[in-house]
Structure 1
Amino acid sequence: MKVETHTIKNEVFLSDDRQNRYLLQRTWGSENQAIVAVITLKPVSVSGVENDLTTMLIQNHVVEMGYQGYLVANLVSGIDSSKKLSETLLDRETEDELLKEVLNKKEVQQIIIGCGSVVTQKGFAQERLKEILSLLTKTNQHKVVAIVDDDNRPIHPLVPSIRNQPWTLKKIKI
């Protein structure tokens, strides 16, 4: 019999009142190894231990891709599901400072947009994504791709047709 032991380090960056999750980072393996950043719409919870389906699918795909961890950033950090997406962006300055720092880390090998088609439509989500992408260095701007379907349209990790399939990643025009 063989026993494998894996240690996953969870880091959750929260607001003091626990109403905003700015970032979730999970790593395994040694320090300074290649990780991927995934930008999603908004967090479901502030917990670093609980897994919602999106986080579970992201982690499974990141492992398949051979990375040693990931960080999940969001268009907005507020977790209040009763509010519109634009109403959950409460602390733009804090969010942007943190996003600029983590998305430009040398360990981040790829930045994946996993927000779905909402970012290709004019409106708050598209504008917020543009703001986040403007925080990237020129080097890291070249690392940005989106999860796309067979027609090269951006899709969310929860889309049933890709849940158990390798992600197709392509550069898209925002």
Structure 2
Amino acid sequence: MAFVWLVVVAYYLGDDGGASLLTESPMGLAIMGVYLRVTGSRAAATVLVLFHEVTMYISLYNCYVSVAWLAWTFSQNKGLPFSGFFVKVSSHFNQPFRTLGLLTVVDVALGPFRPRGVAIVTNILAVVYILYVLSFAGLPTVMPVTKDNMNYAGPMMLGLIVLALAGWCISDRKRFQLPDVHFDS
């Protein structure tokens, strides 16, 4: 479905490659310009953009909570600094609220992924995909770029990667204990 949607969107970008969509859009969102061009209605375009937002927020919440549980598991194995603090789970909500704030690139290095026969391929594909996504994180969202409208996602991600690698090299590799995992046939 996403491929068909992308083909339709590409068709409606126009001869200028979509550059005019930013000027047509009331909020500077190219996708809003596409929907305005297709539907001819601001209300319909707004509803279609809201469909994207709802899907994104539902997906984001699920990703956020799953990574929080991964960080919680990582702290159980003493893989995080201050693991005793982050291993606590709210008894009332049954959620690891302390690890919900720790969602950074650490979840990329949470331990080995070893399904038989595909571990290397899966890990390489994961790293390539992450690098592909991160290559767009620092691109500007508005031109010309000023200090007020700069997209700081790229520099922040690079800083987090440097901090994570420094933490691993300085102390985490000595403290972290891999869990004893056995795979059934």
Larger RCO, structures 1/2 (Cα 8 Å, 6+ apart): 1
TM-score greater than 0.5 by the shorter chain: no
TM-score by length of 2: 0.26
TM-score by length of 1: 0.28
> Hey, which of these two has a bigger chunk of strand by percent?
1
Max Rg structure: 2
